[in-house]
A and B are shown apart, each in its own frame.
Chain A
Amino acid sequence: MKRTGIFVCHCGINIAGTVDVKKVAKELSKHKGVVHAEDYVYVCSDPGQNIIINAIKEKKLDSVVVACCSPTLHETTFRNTSKSAGLNAFQCEIANIREQCSWVHKDMEKATDKAIRITKSTVQRVRRNESLEPISVPVTRKAMVIGGGIAGIQSALDLANTGFEVILVERAPSIGGHMIQLSETFPTLDCSQCILTPKMVEVSKHPKIKLMTYSEVQDISGYVGNFKVKILKKPTYVDPDKCTLCDECTKVCPVVVPNEFDLGLTGRRAIYIPFPQAIPATFTLDIKSCPGLLPIACGKCADVCEPDAIDYDMKPEIVEEEVGAIIVATGYDLYEKELLTEYGYGKYPDVLDGLQFERLLSASGPTMGKILRPSDHKVPKEVVFIQCAGSRDPELHCAYCSKICCMYTAKHAMLYKHHVHDGQAYVFYIDIRSGGKDYEEFVQRAVENDGVLYLRGKVSKIFEDNGKIKVWGVDTLTGKDIEIDADMVVLATATRPSKGADELAKKLKIAMDKDGFLAEAHPKLRPVESVTSGMFLAGAAQAPKDIPEAVAQASGAAAKAISILSQDRLYHAPTVAKVNINLCTGCGMCVQVCPYDALSLKDGKAEVNEVLCEGCGTCSATCLRAAIQVKNMTPLQVNEMIKASLGG
């Protein structure tokens, strides 16, 4: 029989206000195996912790239950306290009688009864706790960053500048992400390319960064500190070392397909460079649009390539790497055209999305920075901007706010006015969300200095009429119907997790939220960590974000990764699954359910890889023979807890 000590915290009146803490201590002192029970006003205070330490020493306690606040708060505190008095940390458990009891009940008698049950149940658990030591594993001091947008670039640079090797994986032919497509950035109106390209160049020249563009993560195994990654390097059919960027190949290529970089506003050839400042600076032969290499259907690009850089025999390559930490920065895409039919998006050429308008504004864009509408290349005199196109619309589209649209719409309207002085910009909005340094001032500038007309309300219908785009809406502030004969409509379409992020999340075994964004480990306290240890999140892959936020999170993720990479060894919670060989029949059901591939069959019996196991216990509920259990939360313990919860 164990010798358990009970410490009931008053938490001032937070607990003692509704729970009779003296009675809890008194009742518990009668409980089997309890040799010490007392209450104290703040057990987490220094004197409070000393009470625990003294009791452990004087009464020779071998286990401790602190009845206090949620274990998410002070479990670590009290485990360390117990440890400092010579106990094993895992001989200390928390009974949550505040969040789950005193704070939610008013009747003292009932709350006290419940607190007693909760505490007894915890005593029953701790009585069967094993002493455990954290599991230690070595660390591979190298990181992988997935996604080469601004977030991925920032994370990679921070890691590399700290001295760690980084593999930066990007699926497109160049890094740069969406930021490189932007014209100017709010609220300062810096040229986006001008501030991003120096970072891109730094990445390409950095001795610690291995850049893998046109590559995708194919498979991942292992665990924090020791991941094994397989990266698929797709063939570009162009040797970047030989390519001189002479551009002769595109002149002869017979294929024209929509140019992704200009969001279809221009075309590109099958062999192309995404944009002049692309990193790596080389051409890529897009095999999907090429007439074919098996057999070679055209071959013109190779014919004209003087340096002989084109290699039709290039094959996909699988590169295996070992890394200790992973940062996922897969970014966003705009809401699919097909899903947003009500605004004539995809139907009328002069209804554009925000990124297309960025290209029109961009000095390097299809119109060299002149605002011309796609249908007839005329300067649009009336432009309607529609916010929340697909956002904040739980019935039909996305329930969430895409966050960046208020600001970029203000910027669009402002820049439009800077280009077309006699034009009129209208903005339909629900609210203006301009929280951020200098953001509100920026929006006010658009309204006051540039005369952008903000209309609070939604657009009901958009249709083409006599060369104009008719926009019907309502101004809910005046209650008036609005009809605008627009030359162009720009939709602030919702941002979504980038295509393929869901598949990647499955490969990485990191969770997604209901909207498909990657889920953080805790919404407030662990916003850059994924639920899988050793994997971190940066940028718009986690939630819609603007550039400074993406950069801040990227640096945060890098710091988190560094905190792993800078260790000699890592420690892992030892509350992992354990197999009873005598009972195991080797049916393999636990192996099938394990979310972490931590189980395998060896000589007809289940075997736990303790380093991979996260202790979720799904195996133990699946096993028909109780042959696998999670340490310190065994079925025996749960059964005892049930008994204590219902006892009396």
Chain B
Amino acid sequence: MAEEFEPKIVAFLCKWCSSAGSDLAGVSRMEYPSNVIPITVMCSGSVSPLYIFSAFNKGADGVLVSGCHPGDCHYIKGNFYARRRIALVKKLLEYVGLEPQRFQMSWVSAAEGIKYTQVIKDFVQELKPLGPQKKLRRIQ
């Protein structure tokens, strides 16, 4: 039997909330799939659309951007800009036919270790049936 497909996911996590939330998941020893490589950024507002395109280009099967809940941003309003920017990128990617499940955004606070693990579990679960992302992956 063929080995089960394990999607590779890049997650841009806000240092103050989602990255801290994933730390909390760790401290609480909550198990979740190892498919996600976290990249901690200062704020979800600092995630440029280029990062997302680049990740898919470099072969990510899924990309996650996770920031603070509205009103909770460490930098007051960075997540509001992110919300707008990410909405547009998501619409664009879906428009050209990329599966909507492949690019997701979540609000995960520093206290939401459980939510973080759930987001990752769901993400991996949704990506598995899709198989590898070949549409935007770099053609060598």
Contacts and interface: CB of A to CB of B under 8 A. Distances in A.
Direct contact of A and B (CB under 8 A): yes
B5 interface: no
Given A104-B25, A519-B72, A646-B60, 8 more contacts: A70-B23, A96-B38, A99-B25, A107-B34, A121-B37, A617-B46, A635-B48, A646-B10
Contact of A595 (B26, B77, B82): B77
Given A121-B37, A635-B48, A595 B76 contact: yes
A645 B81 CA distance: 26
Contacts of A175: none
A624 to B, nearest CB: 10
A646 B58 contact: yes
Contacts of B69: 514
A61 interface: no
Given A110-B34, A646-B58, A621 B47 contact: yes
Contact of A618 (B20, B31, B39, B78): B78
Interface string B47-71: 1111100110011100000000101
A616 interface: yes
B23 A638 contact: no
B39 to A, nearest CB: 5
A32 interface: no
A118 interface: yes
A123 interface: no
A618 B44 CA distance: 8
Interface residues on chain A, size class: 35 or more
Contacts of B50: 635, 639
Contacts, number: 143
A576 to B, nearest CB: 11
22 contacts: A71-B40, A99-B22, A103-B26, A104-B22, A106-B31, A114-B37, A117-B37, A509-B76, A511-B72, A511-B73, A511-B74, A512-B71, A513-B72, A522-B110, A617-B41, A618-B78, A630-B42, A633-B42, A638-B51, A639-B50, A646-B8, A646-B55
A29 interface: no
B49 to A, nearest CB: 8
Contacts of A512: 71
Given A106-B31, A646-B8, A633 B46 contact: yes
Contacts of A103: 26-27, 29
- Determine which residue in A596, A633, A645 has the highest number of CB atoms from chain B within 10 A of its CB, and name it: A645
B119 interface: no
A633 B37 contact: no
B105 to A, nearest CB: 14
A622 interface: yes
B30 interface: yes
Nearest to B23: A99
Interface of B: 6, 8, 10, 16, 19-20, 22-27, 29-34, 37-43, 45-51, 54-55, 58-60, 69, 71-78, 81-82, 85, 110-111, 117
Given A616-B46, A618-B46, A514 B72 contact: yes
Q: Which 3 A-B pairs have the closest CB atoms?
A: A617-B46, A99-B26, A618-B45
B79 to A, nearest CB: 9
B26 A98 contact: yes
Interface string A491-520: 000000000000000000101111000010
A77 to B, nearest CB: 16
B34 A617 contact: no
Contacts of A70: 23, 26
Given A99-B23, A642-B39, A646-B10, A104 B48 contact: no
B26 to A, nearest CB: 3
Most buried by B among A114, A522, A617, A633: A617
A276 interface: no
A531 interface: yes
Interface string A603-635: 000000000001111101110000000100101
Interface in A512-551: 512-514, 519, 522-523, 531
B77 A645 contact: no
A118 B78 contact: no
B22 A100 contact: yes
B101 to A, nearest CB: 18
Interface in A99-126: 99-101, 103-107, 110-111, 113-114, 117-118, 121
A620 B48 CA distance: 7
Nearest to A596: B75
A6 B93 CA distance: 38
Contacts of A569: none
B12 to A, nearest CB: 8
Contacts of A270: none
B76 A638 contact: no
A105 B31 contact: yes
Contacts of A635: 48, 50-51
Contacts of B58: 642-643, 646
A118 B60 CA distance: 15
A188 interface: no
Contacts of A72: 20, 23
Contacts of B81: 593, 618, 621-622
A580 to B, nearest CB: 15
Interface in A388-422: none
A111 B39 contact: no
A104 B54 contact: no
Contacts of B34: 101, 104-105, 107, 110-111, 113-114
A352 interface: no
A16 interface: no
A121 B73 CA distance: 26
A642 B26 contact: no
Nearest to A73: B23
Contacts of A641: 39
Nearest to B59: A646
